[in-house]
Homo-oligomer: A and B are copies of this chain.
């Protein structure tokens, strides 16, 4: 088992955050399983992106958090195909900030604190890929595991995650491929996951003040805790393994597509909306910005290299810009 662990770690972008001895000593702990899964996912995605880019090399930063834990941030900036591609792993522990406790309470979590303190461990892989070509959509995915120890020693845990696509223009074939791949991964674990998490995704990525979704959706879930841990882990693992097959074929298909300055302009305006969602609404970004000692550069890696805001920009009816806007305003079902 120790050898098997060594072998798996060989493929990672950097050594695990938790020290090897601790991982070896707790082979059955969900924290161990999850840390290995997120590091493996990071490595698989980075390798696939680097290959699609034509041999780019990710910058790898391994960092420590003074308050406990650390992470591995992998970034590709201004490469052949990508404007900015970030794949980040973090494994942090310590005490939950008050703001996050309150935020979790609004989600219905009843947490018994001790002197207002709540020890936690949070780990996840999180990624946003912004390509240069407006015909390749942006993808975001995040898979995470949370443990909290309450004042009475009771441990609460849950999984969260999702994968979603943000195209500049609508290509129905791409969107169907993307959703079908996610649905196939979900369906292995039961028929209700995909429809439920597809809807959750459409609801979550709403830019409320615009009445638009950030993109064409995918899947999103949070607070999964009502089945055995191992079962949920297996589901999360299937979703994580679906990232490369749902996205890389779309990158390959469009990476040499020609595009006009007008296409690029519309992409930049959509990037602006991406920034609006992430800074105003995104729960992960808010949690990160509120967590003391969090690594800001890794959290804000999700922001595009460049973005644009024009006053009163409005696409003409019937244009391909209006076409995607319609989908963002009224989400569709892409697969049955």
The CA of A303 and the CA of B274, in the complex, are separated in Å by 14
Instruction: Indicate if the CB atoms of B301 and A77 lie closer than 8 Å.
Output: no
**Is the CB–CB distance between A210 and B296 below 8 Å?**
yes
Q: Which residues of B contact A303 (CB under 8 A)?
A: 272, 309
How many interface residues does chain A have, given as a range? 20 to 34
Say whether B61 contacts A312, CB under 8 Å: yes
Give the CA-CA distance A263 to B279 in the complex, in Å.
Answer: 26
Given A209-B296, A279-B279, A280-B289: A304 touches B309 (CB 8 Å cut-off): yes
Contact with B along A179-199 (1 / 0, CB 8 A): 000000000000000000000
A310 at the interface (CB under 8 A from B): yes
Give the dominant DSSP class at A's interface. Answer: mixed
CB neighbours (8 Å) of A307 from chain B are 275, 306-309
A124 CB within 8 Å of chain B:
no
A250 within 8 A of B: no
Distance between A293 CB and nearest chain B CB, rounded to angstroms:
11
A111 within 8 A of B: no
Question: Looking across the interface, which residue of chain B has its beta carbon closest to that of A304?
Answer: B309
Within the complex, which residue of B75, B275, B306 is in contact with A268, where a contact is CB–CB below 8 Å? B306
Q: Which residues of B contact A304 (CB under 8 A)?
A: 309
Tally of this chain's copies: 2
Please give me the residue from chain B that is nearest to A312 by CB atom.
Answer: B297
On chain B, the residues within 8 Å of A237 by CB distance are none
Q: Contacts A289-B209, A301-B311, A310-B77: A279 and B275 contacting too (C-beta < 8 A)?
A: yes
Q: Distance (Å) between the CB of A52 and the closest chain B CB?
A: 19
Q: Which of A300, A304, A309 has the most CB of B within 10 A?
A: A309
Tell me whether B279 and A311 are in contact (CB under 8 A).
no
Instruction: Determine whether A213 belongs to the interface, using a CB cutoff of 8 Å to chain B.
Output: no
Question: Chain A 12-34, CB within 8 Å of chain B: the 1/0 string?
Answer: 00000000000000000000000
Task: A272 to B275: give the CA distance in the assembly, Å.
Answer: 10
How far does the Cβ of A297 sit from chain B's closest Cβ, in whole Å?
Answer: 5
Asked if A276 CB lies within 8 Å of chain B CBs, one says yes
Q: Are B296 and A311 in contact (CB under 8 A)?
A: no
Closest B residue by C-beta to A296: B209
Instruction: Provide the residues of chain B in CB contact with A137, threshold 8 Å.
Output: none
In the complex, what residues of B have CB within 8 A of residue A311's CB? 59, 73, 75, 77, 84, 86, 297, 301
Query: A322 in the interface, Cβ–Cβ < 8 Å?
Result: no
Asked if A305 lies at the interface with its beta carbon under 8 angstroms from chain B, I say: yes
Mask of A306-326 contacts with B, CB within 8 angstroms, 1/0: 111111100000000000000
Q: Which of B73, B276, B308, B312 lies in contact with A279, CB distance below 8 A?
A: B276
- A-B pairs with lowest CB-CB distance, top 9: A279-B279, A303-B309, A209-B289, A75-B311, A306-B308, A209-B296, A279-B280, A297-B312, A307-B307
Q: Name 12 interchain pairs, CB-CB below 8 A, sorted by A.
A: A73-B311, A75-B311, A77-B311, A84-B309, A84-B311, A208-B289, A210-B296, A276-B279, A279-B279, A304-B309, A307-B307, A307-B309
- Beyond the given pairs A75-B311, A75-B312, 17 more chain A to chain B contacts, judged by CB atoms under 8 angstroms and listed by A's residue number, are A73-B311, A77-B310, A84-B309, A208-B289, A209-B289, A209-B296, A275-B275, A275-B279, A275-B307, A276-B279, A276-B300, A279-B280, A300-B309, A306-B306, A307-B307, A307-B308, A307-B309
